[in-house]
Amino acid sequence: MIDKYPAGVNRGQEIDPEVFHDPVSNKYFLYWGNGYMAVAELTADMRSLKEGSLQLITPDKTFREGTTVFYRKGKYYFLWSENDTRSEDYRVRYGTADSPIGPISIPAENMVIAKDPAAGIYGTGHNSIIQVPGKDEWYIVYHRFNYPNGIHWGRAAGYSREVCIDRLYFNEDGSIKQVVPTHKGIGK
């Protein structure tokens, strides 16, 4: 159990844990945090943190919570939620690194998915990424306000969410193309 803040942190919460297996080093890392991003290597039994491995790697001021990490073509991708889950502007941003512990570089255009008011889609945050085994085919799984009525519920919409999945695409340079959220579940 993580029951205290990492050194240098005096606010936030120890929430949204994610375990990532690094295919390069064959190590497992745990990420978590609210208001800060923490990482630590897991011990072989996967039940505790490796002594001395805890680090803060908060990418920038947009980081709120919900870290997810994946590895693609020699780069580590770090995705996180910006804003509060009860905000219609809850959305996902990203950065990349050469290591599973950073430092994280943030591209100028780093929005992964955001609301689409014209389509009535709001609060698109807190995600995970799925790769089709053996293929360079990726999907983002995220939650958003209940469609179509959630936007009318105010902050309560953040507690009545639905889980969605859309296709994730990359540009030739490896940057992530911003996802347009869909109603049908799988974006084109």
Q: Please tell me the distance from the alpha carbon of residue 29 to that of residue 81, in angstroms, as a whole number.
A: 19
Q: Please tell me the distance from the alpha carbon of residue 134 to that of residue 81, in angstroms, as a whole number.
A: 28
The residue among 147, 138, 146 whose CA lies nearest residue 165 is 138
List, run by run, the mean pLDDT of 10-residue segments along the chain (188 residues). 65 85 97 94 93 93 96 98 95 98 97 96 96 97 93 89 95 97 64
Q: Is residue 39 one of the residues assigned to a domain? A: yes
Q: Is residue 9 one of the residues assigned to a domain? A: no
Q: Is residue 92 one of the residues assigned to a domain? A: yes
Q: Please tell me the distance from the alpha carbon of residue 51 to that of residue 70, in angstroms, as a whole number.
A: 24
Which CATH number goes with the domain that contains 22? 2.115.10.20
Whole-model pTM? Answer: 0.93
Q: Is residue 131 one of the residues assigned to a domain? A: yes
Q: Is residue 12 one of the residues assigned to a domain? A: no
**Contact by Cβ (8 Å): 157, 86:** yes
Burial label for 28, CB within 10 Å (0-12, 13-18, 19+), is middle
Q: Is residue 180 one of the residues assigned to a domain? A: no
**Domain with 52 in it:** 18-168
Number of domains in the chain: 1
Q: Is residue 78 one of the residues assigned to a domain? A: yes
Q: Is residue 181 one of the residues assigned to a domain? A: no
